[in-house]
Structure 1
Amino acid sequence: MRLRLIRSTWLAEGVVQLEFADPAGDELPGWEPGAHLTLHLPNGLAREYSLCGDPADRTRYAVAVQHDAASRGGSAYVHERLRVGEVVEVDGPKNNFALTEAPAYMLIAGGIGVTPVKAMAEALHARGADWRLFYCGRSRTSMAFADLLESLGDTIVHADDDCGGTPDLGKVLADLPGGALVYVCGPEPLLAAVEAELDDPARLRVERFRAPERPAAGEPADEPFDVVCGGGRRFTVQPGASVLDTLRRGGLDLPSSCEEGICGTCETRVLAGEPDHRDFLLTDAERAEGGSMMLCVSRSRTPELVLDL
C-alpha cells in the first residue's frame, strides 16, 4: 500500500504518534491487537511499528515511534524529516504477536513496547476478560498512554524516577491465575528478566525490539549449502553469508527489514530440506515442522534447501 501521513501528534517526551490513511479514502485492511506495519521510509530504510489505534476504525492506521538515541536511521528520520502530507509505502498489517485464547492475561510493557500492549489492553477490557497490565519506564513523562491505561482498570505504571529504581518482577508475576498467558514487549533486559521469573516458559509470548546477542562460543561452524528456487535456479550459500544476501546477489528482489530474525518480513516457505533456524520469532513447534524459515539469519542442516521462490 501507499498511505499518506495525515496527522502527527506528540504523545510523550520523545514519542510521536503517526496516523496514515489511503490517499483515495479507501478502506484499509483490518487488523487485530499485536499487529504491526512495515514503513518503507524515503531514506531507503524499512522499519516495523506496532499498530496502537482502534481496530474498528478502517479509515486510518496509527503507530507510535520513540526517538531512539541509538537510532540506526529509522526513528531519527521519522522524528526529524517525515512530514504530514507525505506518502509512504507500507506493508502489512502482519501479526507475529497475536492474542490467543486464555483464561487470563498478564501484559507487561517496557517503554515504547507499550504500543502493541495498549491495543491488547483495550481489546481485553472491551470484552470483559481477566487481565492485568504492568507498564514500566524510566520516567512518567516519557511513557505514552500511561493515563489512558490506568483508566482501564487493573494497571500499574512504574516509572523508575518516581518509584526509586527498577521494578520487582517477581512480585509482579506472583500469583498468576491458572492458565494465564504472559505477553511482554520491551527491551531485551526486561524480556530476559520476565523469562527468568516464570516457572513455565510455555506461558510466555514476547515481541522484541532487537535480536539478543548470540553466545560468542559454542555455535557450530557454518557449512556451505545449496538453495534451489523456482525454475531450478541454484545458489550456494557460503559460510558467513546469509541466504537473503546470497539470493539478492543472484538477482532476486526479496523483501526484508530487521535482518536479525525478529520481524518476519523475509519469512519464506520451505518445500524440501531441513532449515537450521536461528531466528527469534518462530515457536518450537513451527521450527520442528520446518515449513518456513527467515532468510536473513537461518541456514540449512541439509546439503540442499528448496524454497518457494
Structure 2
Amino acid sequence: MTLMSDSPATNVPSDAGLVLAVDEVTALTPTVRHMRLVASDGALLPSFTPGSHIVVTCGTGPEGQSRRNSYSLTGPGFEPDHYGISVRLEEDGRGGSRWIHSLRAGDRVQVSTPRSAFAPVLTARHHLLVAAGIGVTPILSHVRAAVQWGRSFEVHYVHRERDAAHLDDLEQLCGDRLHLHTGRDGFWEHMGPALLDQPIGTHLYACGPAALIDELTDRAGRAGWPGARVHYEHFGVGDLDPGEPFTAHLTRSGVDVDVASGVSLLEALGSRGIAVPSLCRQGVCGECRLPVVSGDIEHRDLYLGAAEKEAGDCLMPCVSRANGPRLELDL
C-alpha cells in the first residue's frame, strides 16, 4: 500500500491540506467501507458545513501522477474530533476506491480541508432530502445538522435490498421522517405527490446517479419548483462519446495543443506539462474550470448552469471539448 506522507499528522491547515490517521474502518455493506480519520495528536479538526467534502490523495496512477478523489463528510461539522467518509468500491473505476478500501487502522492519508458546494439554505422552512445509493453520504451530514438545530426535514432514501449504507444512522436520527424505497418505481410513486405537497419555502436537496437527479429536477421544475430552491450533487457524467479531435490554442503562451478523439482536454494539457488543478475529473466539482477566448464548446459537465454554458466563456476540460476544429483558451 502507498502511504502519502511520513510527516506527523496535524490539524493546522496548509497548502498541502492535512495528514490524518485512519482510526477505524467499518464495513457498512459488502461494497461500502466507512473510514474514521483523526489527527494523530487527538486535536480537533477544522469545522465544516453540511454537504462538505474532502479531497483524498489516493496513491498514484499508472503514470506516477497523484490520484485524488473527493468524498463527502458524514459526521458532525462543528469542531469535529474526526472526519468520516464512506466509499463504495468501484471495480471499474480509476483505482481511488480500491486504494481507500485497502486502508487499515494506523495508516495515514493526505486530505484537503473541507470544501462545500452543497450546503443547506438556513432560511428554508423545510428541507426535503433525497439520497440514492452512496449519495446518502452528504445527505447524512445535512440530517445531523437539521436534528442538531431543530430544523424541519424529511428524507427519501433509494437503495438496493441489503445494500443500504448508513441506514441505522438515518433510522436513529430521522424516526418517522425517513422514507425508504428499494425500487425506483416505488420512489417515483411517492415522490411525485411529495413534490406537490410541501410547505411554501421548502428547499429540495438530492444526491445520487445523474439519471435520477436529472429526472428529479425535471419533475420538480414541472411541479413549479423555482430553480433556486433545488440543490443537487451528481456522481458523475457517466460514459461519454470520445468526441472529435481538435486543437486548443493557448493565447498567452502561443502554444497549440492537439486533443485526440477519446482524450480529454485536461489530459492533453497535462501531457504537454501544463498543469490544471483538478479533483473529480467527472465534470462535477468545477475545480478545473478554464477561461475560453473563442470557439464553440461542447459542454458535457454537470457543474455550469445554463446561463454560464450559453455565455461560452469557460469550460470544464475534464469532460468538455471543442465543438469544432479549434478552441482558444486564456492560458
TM-score bin, normalised by smaller chain:
0.7 to 0.9
Q: 1:11 aligns with which of 28, 46, 49?
A: 28
Q: 1:192 aligns with which of 202, 206, 214?
A: 214
Counterpart mapping for 1:176-187 below 5 A: 176-187=198-209
Q: 2:230 aligns with which of 184, 204, 219?
A: 204
Q: 1:82 aligns with which of 103, 106, 111?
A: 103
Q: 2:306 aligns with which of 284, 287, 292?
A: 284
Measured in 2, the distance between the counterparts of 1:30 and 1:114 equals 20
Q: Give the stretch that moved more between structures: 100-109 or 278-287.
A: 278-287
Q: 1:40 aligns with which of 49, 57, 60?
A: 57
Superposed displacement of residue 285, structure 1: 4.4
Q: For 1:170, what is the secondary structure of its paired residue?
A: helix
Q: 1:227: which partner in 2?
A: 250
Q: 1:135: which partner in 2?
A: 157
Q: Which runs of 5+ in 2 are unaligned?
A: 1-16, 62-66
For the Cα contact (< 8 Å) 1:227–1:237, is it kept in 2? no
- The residue identity in structure 1 corresponding to 2:215 is A
Label 1:157 to 1:147 Cα distance change in 2 as closer, same or farther (>3 A).
farther
Q: 1:29: which partner in 2?
A: 46
Q: Which runs of 5+ in 1 are unaligned?
A: none
Superposed displacement of residue 121, structure 1: 1.4
Label 1:193 to 1:224 Cα distance change in 2 as closer, same or farther (>3 A).
same
Q: 1:247: which partner in 2?
A: 269
Measured in 2, the distance between the counterparts of 1:251 and 1:122 equals 43
Label 1:285 to 1:228 Cα distance change in 2 as closer, same or farther (>3 A).
same
Q: 2:116: which partner in 1?
A: 95
Q: What is the percent sequence identity of the aligned residues?
A: 30
Measured in 1, the distance between the counterparts of 2:44 and 2:151 equals 29
* Residue 146 in structure 1 maps to residue 167 in structure 2: yes
Label 1:208 to 1:265 Cα distance change in 2 as closer, same or farther (>3 A).
same
- The residue identity in structure 2 corresponding to 1:206 is Y
Measured in 1, the distance between the counterparts of 2:22 and 2:33 equals 13
Superposed displacement of residue 56, structure 1: 1.2
Measured in 2, the distance between the counterparts of 1:24 and 1:274 equals 52
Measured in 1, the distance between the counterparts of 2:71 and 2:30 equals 18
Measured in 2, the distance between the counterparts of 1:25 and 1:156 equals 34
Q: 1:267: which partner in 2?
A: 289
Label 1:147 to 1:83 Cα distance change in 2 as closer, same or farther (>3 A).
closer
For the Cα contact (< 8 Å) 2:46–2:79, is it kept in 1? no
Matched length: 297
For the Cα contact (< 8 Å) 2:74–2:140, is it kept in 1? yes
Q: For 1:41, what is the secondary structure of its paired residue?
A: strand
Q: 1:236: which partner in 2?
A: 257
For the Cα contact (< 8 Å) 1:266–1:296, is it kept in 2? yes
Label 1:297 to 1:272 Cα distance change in 2 as closer, same or farther (>3 A).
same
Q: For 1:97, what is the secondary structure of its paired residue?
A: coil
Measured in 1, the distance between the counterparts of 2:99 and 2:307 equals 38
Superposed displacement of residue 300, structure 1: 5.7
Question: Can you list the C-alpha shifts for 1:60-99, whole angstroms capped at 9, x where unaligned?
Answer: 21111123454442323322x2112122222342222222
- The residue identity in structure 1 corresponding to 2:257 is T
Q: Give the stretch that moved more between structures: 290-299 or 199-208.
A: 290-299
Label 1:271 to 1:261 Cα distance change in 2 as closer, same or farther (>3 A).
closer
